[in-house]
Amino acid sequence: MKDKITIVGAGLVGSLLAVILKKKGFDVQIFEKRKDPRKSEIAEGRSINLALSHRGIRPLKMAGVFETIEPYLIPMKGRMMHDQAGELTFQPYGKEGQFINSVSRAQLNELLIESAEQAGVDVYFDHKCTDVDFEASTLTFENGKTIQADLIVGTDGAFSAIRKQMQFTDRFNFSQHYIEHGYKELCIEPVDGKFLMEPNYLHIWPRGNFMLIALPNADKTFTCTLFFPFEGTPSFSTLKSREDIDSFFDQYFKDAKDLMPDLVDQFFHNPTSSLVTTKCEPWHKNRSILLGDAAHAIVPFYGQGMNSGFEDVRLFAEMAEAMNWDWDKILPEFSNRRKKDADAILDLALHNFIEMRDHVGDPNFLRRKKLESKIQEQYPKEWIPLYSMVTFSDMPYSEALRLGKIQKQVMDEFLQQEEDEINFSKVMERFNALKQGGWKAGQ
């Protein structure tokens, strides 16, 4: 298997794919536009920490790199909600023993690049890809270099150069959408080498149209992210002076503010970033294919961007092996099969923003959660909550989305009844009937 595989982008997805394909015996090289992150003092990149869960862990295990990464993970058992008075409420993510993991994006990327190099992959930094010739299967770089490959994989992120070139080809569909919210990161520093909040939770301050979240880091800091509209009141556009910021945080996030003495300076200093979703179809052209954010960038509210990109890698490698590495057949087949799941997680992620910022503190939402946990107690195998299907299983995202919609409809129907009148076997009967009956919304 001496096919030459060229990967564009040594981010999370590209580096993982390189390890797996190299171990399968291919001649693999990666071209990355940035400098080697292991040699630069300040890690470049977007959010500092990410939530890694089952769909991401499985491909890391497949590549044989999970053991190297595991020591850097901080388990988060659930959401710790902070209300405006600073009262805390815990909501577990799943069953006892289920958790997601906070991991430094920069650290994870470095470990994966290191693993790729150790496996024998050639990684070229400072190589920005500027052009692709899909007919000739060649890539051109900013420095003038041109190379030819048997397979080109674009893992060059949400603003992919490979995808941009596909946009000039016939019958290629592309759309992008910026949501009205942006985000800003803030940091809670440790005191006396200790975390200032409980570390094994994802802390969340839901406030209706906006929210603050905080994930723990191995250095005992918390990275807080404020998801906030660009326009309107309040919004990034209304927080202009030191006093504006001070009184806004006093009003909405007092307990978090008390842990950040330099909050206002951080607010001015740290950038405000936007959030984009992208869709495209097909993901391939001749011998080139897109994976990860390059194919499907989503908002971060389900913690699934990287996880879904890693899952792309696993499914792609499994399918390729099953199809005997026949790229001309694999590329259209993969693009076709995976697309509906990428669309589904895009929708789920957008919807989860509303749930996180708005519903988690809402009494109706909490009633539904209570009902759901009772159903689940009695039918643990048949009724799996949507969050668990997405986060702790390998079920295709499109199926999780479909079942989640059915569950919502069933719960809405039964929540009309008094709590002690609900007959759980009737709930399951209804759920199974809709599930098997080719359910469509509003049925």
Task: Identify which range of 30-38, 59-67, 247-255, 259-267 contacts ligand FAD by CB under 6 A.
Answer: 30-38
Footprint of ligand FAD on 225-254 (CB under 6 A): 225
Mapping DSSP onto H, E and C, the string for the chain reads CCCEEEEECCCHHHHHHHHHHHHCCCEEEEECCCCCCCCCCCCCCCCCEEEECHHHHHHHHHCCCHHHHHHHCEEECEEEEECCCCCEEEEECCCCCCCEEEEEHHHHHHHHHHHHHHHCCEEECCCCEEEEECCCCEEEECCCCEEECCEEEECCCCCCHHHHHHCCCCCCEEEEEEEEEEEEEEEECCECCECCCCCCCEEEEECCCCEEEEEECCCCCEEEEEEEECCCCCCHHHCCCHHHHHHHHHHHCHHHHCCCCCHHHHHHHCCEEEEEEEEEECCEECCEEECHHHCCCCCHHHCCHHHHHHHHHHHHHHHHHHCCCCHHHHHHHHHHHHHHHHHHHHHHHHHHHHHHHCHHHCHHHHHHHHHHHHHHHHCCCCCCCHHHHHHCCCCCHHHHHHHHHHHHHHHHHHCCCCHHHCCHHHHHHHHHHHHHCCCCCCC
Q: Closest CB to ligand FAD among 183 and 228?
A: 183
Stretch that binds ligand FAD, among 9-17, 232-240, 282-290, 333-341 (CB under 6 A): 9-17
Q: Which two tokens stand for residue 119?
A: 């496996």
- Of 59-67, 256-264, 304-312, 315-323, which segment contacts ligand FAD by CB under 6 A? 304-312
Asked if 46 is part of the footprint of ligand FAD (rule: CB under 6 A), the reply reads yes
Does 392 participate in binding ligand FAD (rule CB under 6 A)?
A: no
Give whichever of 5 and 427 is closer to ligand FAD, judged by the CB atom.
Answer: 5
For residues 156 and 372, which CB has a smaller minimum distance to ligand FAD in the complex?
Answer: 156
> Does 214 contact ligand FAD by CB under 6 A?
no
Quick check: 292 binds ligand FAD (CB under 6 A)?
yes
CA–CA distance, 229 with 182 (Å, rounded to integer) = 6
Window 345-374: residues binding ligand FAD (CB under 6 A): none
Q: How far is the CB of 284 from ligand FAD (least distance, A)?
A: 16
Region 152-171 residues binding ligand FAD, contact defined as CB under 6 A: 155-157, 161
Q: Does 304 bind ligand FAD (CB under 6 A)?
A: yes
Question: Of 5, 6, 7, 10, which lies in the binding site for ligand FAD, with binding defined by CB under 6 A?
Answer: 10
Measured from each CB, the residue nearest to ligand FAD is 11
Among 5, 18, 20, 50, binds ligand FAD (CB under 6 A): 50
Among 23, 47, 246, 286, binds ligand FAD (CB under 6 A): 47
The answer to the question of residue 14 lying near ligand FAD (CB under 6 A) is yes
Sole binder of ligand FAD in the list 182, 300, 385, 404 (CB under 6 A): 300
Shortest Å distance, C-beta 403 to ligand FAD: 21
Does residue number 182 form part of the binding site for ligand FAD (CB under 6 A)? Answer: no
Contact between 32 and ligand FAD by CB under 6 A: the answer reads yes
Q: Which residues bind ligand FAD (CB under 6 A)?
A: 8-14, 31-34, 46-47, 50-51, 128-129, 155-157, 161, 183, 225, 292-294, 300, 303-307, 309
